[in-house]
Amino acid sequence: MNFSDSQWQAAQAVVNGATETGDLNMALCAVGDQNGIVRIHATGFRDSKRSIPAETDAIVAIASMTKLITTIATLQLVEGGRLQLDIPIDAYLPELKKMSVLTGFNDAGEAQYVAANRAPTARELMTHTSGYVYSIWNETLLTAEDKGIVEGVLGSEGRFLNAPLAFQPGERWEYGIGIDWLGALVERISGQRLLNYFEDHIFYPLGMTDTGYEFDAKKLDRAVSMMMRVDGGLIEAPVMQATPADRGSSAFYSGGGELYSTLEDYSKILAALLNGGVCNGAQLLSKETVASMFENHIGHLDVPTGRTQMPDLSNDFDMGFGAPAKWGLGFLRHETTTPNGRSAGSVSWAGLFNSYYWIDPSSGIFGLFATQILPFYDTPSINTLCAFERAIYGLE
């Protein structure tokens, strides 16, 4: 797809308008092809006082956009013959034998369990059909957290991995912590901490110099204030602000989230997937593996709307934007052309703080849009993303 200067100018005008009106404090956007970013833009302000202009090298928390990187790491192990996608993962992680499914609570408020039929497979972890869920969108698991039966994701240093399943493996699609378990699997098989594996096999080969779990103190001048939408307006969030830390100092590295990155860095992952697994001369995955990532891996199951249980962290979300959606290996798959222009067979996903990407192989492009706002699927953020896409595709 060749997009014109006028289309890019229209796309810039969309995001500029959102920050000028105050709907967003800051927005980053980019579009690229198999060779990398073609156009990139920043608008708004890095700080909550709206005094420091945002630049295109801003470092943002990408949250669940981490999941695609963990998926790639896992598929590298598959290609190396060290992991099979379709055998129960207790073959690699014996602690997951004899798993339980939390079915609910009795009249006395006691948790009720049944035995899991088996441990989920790596493919089920990768496709959110494993039975592992997030309490943000699952009422039963949230109740278990409130009762102190399990720990929440935030601040638990990995103890949230001890959560029970919410349904039998393979039974349905529900967004969850399965890819955190994939991160644990990568660590177990490779013998490396997840950060080190990512650096050796993904970040360094691609030249992703601004991506990591800890925020480098020397780069705080590129941090962006995390905002919250309260009563329709934006305030600085009391939590989730960038805090400097030494590389390698974290007690736990999440395969499901917690990375910081830039649009330039993350674009190299997307460009590689448009280019048969290669970017900057580095071969992340084989062409055949990359092609398989874009296929439907959940069969007759569908990706439904997520229903929030924690409105401060997330709104209800529909990442198919009203159109049918499946799941590939690492991302949602759009089965039909979306209302904003993505072709059938395009893929996409997002991060909790309203960062979004899509890859459109038919058109030969990828797109990135990011701000730093809670809750997820923030209406002005989504409206801006959709209008940005329509401008890129020449639909407005």
Instruction: Answer whether 67's CB lies under 8 Å from 330's CB.
Output: yes
Beta strands, E only, the chain = 26-33, 36-44, 60-61, 100-105, 111-115, 227-230, 233-236, 260-261, 278-279, 282-283, 325-327, 332-334, 347-351, 355-360, 365-370, 373-374
The DSSP-derived string for 352-364 is: TTTEEEEEETTTT
- Going by C-alpha positions, the residue among 392, 320, 388 that lies closest to residue 349 is 320
How many CB atoms neighbour CB 59 within 10 A?
A: 23
The DSSP-derived string for 279-303 is: ETTEE-S-HHHHHHHTS--STT---
Residue 262 backbone dihedrals phi, psi, to 5 degrees: -115, 165
Q: Which amino acid belongs to residue 92?
A: Y
Q: Which of 175, 213, 253, 377 is catalytic?
A: 175
Q: What are the C-alpha distances in Å from 254 to residues 110, 162, 198, 232, 361?
A: 30, 14, 12, 32, 29
Active site includes 219? Answer: no
Residues in the chain: 396
Q: Which of 48, 67, 266, 346 is catalytic?
A: 67
Active site includes 67? Answer: yes
Active site includes 292? Answer: no
Q: What are the C-alpha distances in Å from 20 to residues 17, 201, 235?
A: 5, 41, 16
**Beta 373-374 vs 227-230: how paired, if at all?**
parallel
Q: Which of 64, 190, 254, 363 is catalytic?
A: 64
Eight-class DSSP state of 73: H
Q: What are the C-alpha distances in Å from 222 to residues 45, 46, 128, 245, 351?
A: 11, 8, 33, 15, 19
Active site residues: 64, 67, 175
